[in-house]
Amino acid sequence: MTTGPNSTFHADAAGARATMVLRDRVDPWQVAALHATLGRPGPAPAEGEALPPLWHFILFREARPRAELGRDGHPKLGGFIPDFGLPRRMWAGGRLRFHAPLKLGQEATRTSTILDTALKDGRSGRLAFVTLLHRVEGPDGLAVEEEQDLVYREEHDPNGPPPPKAPDAPAGGEWMTEMTADPTLLFRYSALTFNGHRIHYDLAHATKTEGYGGLVVHGPMLAQLMADLARECSGRALAEFSFRGVSPVIHTQPFEVCGAPEGDGAKLWIRAPGGRLAMKGEARFA
């Protein structure tokens, strides 16, 4: 067992079922800072009010010392998540269920468990898939259940095959807003989530080491923008939300956050330049 200022990590005797517990406070200042960073309309939620869905992404940050970070700025593997020998990390998607609201000012706990790991050979080389289960609880009990999909990849090979062409995003969209993520937005989101991943703020690392066309817009931020669009345009609360990244959005590229109601929920997507699909999501309303 290892512990930090706000965390506990435990692996069972077989080492097969690791669990990490992180504790945090839903800080009204942090929520106001995220509200300002994303340019949300109206006043920020105040103490005692409900935290909007997916905004818990700014909570439960690991305060690791620099000596425990990998080359990419993320915590080194081999503790909670096994070390697969694959250095490049990507948050590929997730599925969330909302049971009760977290309120600003409350204390909260996130218990994380590794549900599954798998090694596969893909077009670009070896891949490791990790699925985590996060259970977020507040004073009123279970608030959020979240399954998070992570992918680990081999080093970027500049002479390797180009990435496959992304599919086209749906045309139109009953709901739509346009954005461009500049370096200031990426820096502020990284700071609020305490995300040290260098692809979001270190241009040389993103382009030369990782092979991207620029700084990469955070996948969870794109998911958060889709969830906010569904909630604000429908005027309804979310019961479930899922998303999957398809292709990266680069900081110099304007992109569109789109959606349309469907049945008791909505389809959402991120449309990148040229009509390329960057992310897709689905919401079910309460």
Is a pLDDT exceeding 70 seen at residue 3?
no
Query: 97 versus 121: which is more confidently predicted?
Result: 97
Nearest to 212 by CA among 175, 253, 177, 180: 253
> For the chain, which residues make up each domain, given as ranges?
2-285
What confidence category does residue 284 fall into, taking pLDDT thresholds of 50, 70 and 90?
very high
**Residue with more model confidence, 56 or 17:** 56
* pLDDT higher than threshold 60 for residue 114: yes
pLDDT, tens only, 77-88:
887 888 898 888
Share the mean pLDDT of the chain.
Answer: 91
Question: What pLDDT does 251 receive?
Answer: 96
Predicted confidence at residue 80, as pLDDT, reads 86
Q: For 192-221, what is each residue's pLDDT tens digit?
A: 999 999 999 999 999 999 999 999 999 999
So what's the pLDDT on residue 6? 60
- The topology under which CATH files domain 2-285 is Thiol Ester Dehydrase; Chain A (3.10.129)
Find the mean pLDDT for residues 14-37: 88
pTM of the model: 0.92
pLDDT band, residue 15 (cuts 50/70/90) = very low
CB 153 within 8 Å of CB 88: yes
pLDDT at position 30 over 90: yes
User: In this model, does residue 124 exceed pLDDT 90?
Assistant: no
What average pLDDT does the segment 48-71 reach? Answer: 92
pLDDT at 274 over 70: yes
The residue written with tokens 């992918």 in the block is 151
The predicted structure's pLDDT at residue 18: 80
The pLDDT of residue 17? 67
